[in-house]
Structure 1
Amino acid sequence: MKDAKYDVLGIGNAIFDVLVRTDESFLAAHGMIKGGMALIDEARAASIYRDMGPAVEMSGGSAANTIVGIANLGARAAYVGKVKDDQIGRLYTHDIRAAGVAFETGPASDGPATGCSYILVTPDGERTMNTYLGAAQELMPGDIDDAQVAASAILYLEGYLWDPKNAKDAFVKASTIAHDAGRQVALTLSDSFCVDRYRGEFLDLMRNGTVDLVFANEAELHSLYQTADFDTALKQLRSDARLGVVTRSEKGCVVASKDRVTAVPAFPIDRMVDTTGAGDLFAAGFLFGLVRGAGHENAGRLGALAAAEIIQHIGARPQTSLKELAKDNGLPV
């Protein structure tokens, strides 16, 4: 959109990611549910960190991963999230800006430390997350810049924001501003446990038009509609959302609108290393395709390409230029 300052503005929990390779016995010893995301307190965070091996560290959070992917594809990207003015918070700010993302949210001067997520990757590439939200929970409606939201073609929100009350209010405020400015609002459901907690509220957001586009994986979709049958859940999604995008791992994705369903295959990979950020980077490619007017099928292909790049190495930051990869594969950039 020519009149937009930013192609996509993401709002999410600003979380510093600490990734480490581990095995099933470590998960068992610490009572972790493999593949899930548990919210932890500062004491539990310290005990996990103490027992972890050497780690890879980077700015993260679901929406932040998506926004960095969008910047990597060559779009104009901005992010809103709360860190504390501490060492990790300053690292976070530098890291995300260095990735080409506009990040102007003022840090908190007091209160809890900058949020961290301890991400344990088992040999099969599955990731298990233990997240200390910390300062991320301090995101307030006052942190939402009306002009910035109104100047962004697409507003992208993460379901995890629905945990803290103030962030929930910031989410709704931003959505209202975006729609008043004629912009689109997208939501990722984030996590099947998150859907379990807020199923009714997420359905209301879709049905009342607070969000226009919903991203979900299969587990989240089944949780949303409390059915094990994919076709039943997809039919309901088409009824509830203006546009729904469901990722299905190696089966690719399905883009579902009121009038059609488009299936897009996954991109082939050499080796699965780490699924951290796969859904986030898929959303980056899809949203990039959307703002470029590439159509649903090409948007799905761009999403599949970005997801394939990210799962072949540790961490949720592209190690190869997604823009160049898209060009090499004949996709619009």
Structure 2
Amino acid sequence: MSRRILVVGDVMTDIIVKPDGPMVMGSDRAASIRNRPGGSGANQAVWLGAAGADVMFAARVGADERAMYENYFRGLGVVPALAGDRELPSGVLVTILDPSGERSFLTDRGANLNLCADDLPPTLLDGVGMVMVSGYSFFAPGPRKAVQGLLASARERGVAIAIDPASIGFLAEVGPRHFRDWVGTADWLFANESEAEMLTGEAEFERQIELLGQQFGHVVIKRGRFGAALGGRDGIAVSQPAPVVQVVDTTGAGDAFAAGFMAALMRGEAHERCLAAGIERGARAVQFVGGQPS
């Protein structure tokens, strides 16, 4: 099997806001405000590049920023397959951090909303062993149709498929049944505890793995400071704790985890080592501001 990973997802500019104290409605509050490159798919691709994986990233950006983004991704070990949009600018995400490092988001997906079948031709699968798709690509009709077409081609070719639900807020809006129907069967699912509970209606994570394992060959549940677990329809196969680290910003931690896991998997490592690699990358990601490795 080829070791190249094709990532499909959003490109965003993250505007990260860390207020010095509680927000004051109708008035000012001093804050630290920073711009960082982001987007769930972009984060995964860059973390994969940092892990030494052979990775291609397909997405849609504003036409006037396409060349800049292509150079950016190439510089981080990612092969870009970017379409330029002449109607909408690149996406922007405002992240508001609370003192614990937890986040709230305001999202303008911009050009990502116009991702279409022409942006994801079957030829992108040439030499690819795994397709990783961010759940954001399923939440709007145009990108959803384009991604479903690519996944159909992947299944015909025997290319493995990995899905990350990506957003508990959007999952709640569309409903878990719709999302699972849109995604179809896949080899891997990477979900956090909230997403797994939303998708199954179950609070206990071993039961979540069993139920999700009926649709996905392998289920990985990211449990934050409690580590992560891997299993399938027969329950938990591997569970590992996370190291204790100082949490600065949880943005992109799940993307870093998925990338660390998949990079190890494509190197042929055992699932226990893949889980450990994912946990290590996720723990590293929460120790600095932004969703991509510095």
TM-score by length of 2: 0.91
Q: Percent identity?
A: 26
Give yes or no for contact 1:59–1:96 (8 Å, CA) kept in 2. Answer: no
Q: Which residue of 1 aligns with 2:69?
A: 92
In 2, Cα distance between the equivalents of 1:58 and 1:200? 34
Closer, same or farther: CA 90–129 of 1 in aligned 2, 3 Å: farther
Q: Which residue of 2 aligns with 1:154?
A: 130
In 2, Cα distance between the equivalents of 1:157 and 1:227? 24
Give yes or no for contact 1:23–1:122 (8 Å, CA) kept in 2. Answer: no
Q: Which residue of 1 aligns with 2:247?
A: 272
Please list the CA deviations of residues 47-81 of structure 1 after superposition, one character each: whole Å capped at 9, or x if unmatched.
xxx98855332322111111111110111111111
Closer, same or farther: CA 22–266 of 1 in aligned 2, 3 Å: farther
Structure 1: which 4+ aligned runs deviate by more than 4 Å? Answer: 50-54
Instruction: Give the partner amino acid of 1:236.
Output: L
In 2, Cα distance between the equivalents of 1:24 and 1:289? 40
| Equivalent of residue 193 in structure 2, options 188, 193, 218 | 218
Q: Which residue of 1 aligns with 2:146?
A: 170
Q: Which residue of 1 aligns with 2:84?
A: 107
Please list the CA deviations of residues 223-254 of structure 1 after superposition, one character each: whole Å capped at 9, or x if unmatched.
11123333332321222321110011111111
In 2, Cα distance between the equivalents of 1:272 and 1:263? 25
| Equivalent of residue 42 in structure 2, options 43, 64, 70 | 64
Q: For the aligned residues, what is the CA RMSD?
A: 2.2
Task: For residue 259 of structure 1, report the CA deviation from its aligned partner.
Answer: 4.3
Which 5+ residue runs of structure 2 have no aligned equivalent? none
Instruction: Give the partner amino acid of 2:161.
Output: V
Task: For residue 121 of structure 1, report the CA deviation from its aligned partner.
Answer: 1.8
Give yes or no for contact 2:245–2:283 (8 Å, CA) kept in 1. Answer: no
Give yes or no for contact 1:115–1:133 (8 Å, CA) kept in 2. Answer: yes
In 2, Cα distance between the equivalents of 1:152 and 1:68? 17
Matched, 1:75 2:53: yes
Which 5+ residue runs of structure 1 have no aligned equivalent? 31-49, 320-333
- Residues 67-76 or 50-59, more deviating: 50-59
Give yes or no for contact 1:161–1:171 (8 Å, CA) kept in 2. Answer: yes
Equivalent residue pairs, number: 292
Corresponding residue SS for 2:22? helix
In 2, Cα distance between the equivalents of 1:224 and 1:277? 21
Q: Which residue of 2 aligns with 1:8?
A: 5
Give yes or no for contact 2:206–2:235 (8 Å, CA) kept in 1. Answer: no
In 2, Cα distance between the equivalents of 1:113 and 1:310? 27
Alignment map for 1:242-253 (pairs within 5 Å):
242-253=217-228
Closer, same or farther: CA 219–309 of 1 in aligned 2, 3 Å: same
Instruction: Give the partner amino acid of 2:108.
Output: Y
Corresponding residue SS for 2:63? coil
In 2, Cα distance between the equivalents of 1:280 and 1:60? 10
Instruction: Give the partner amino acid of 1:238.
Output: G
In 1, Cα distance between the equivalents of 2:289 and 2:117? 34
Please list the CA deviations of residues 293-324 of structure 1 after superposition, one character each: whole Å capped at 9, or x if unmatched.
112111110100100110011111223xxxxx
Matched, 1:19 2:12: no
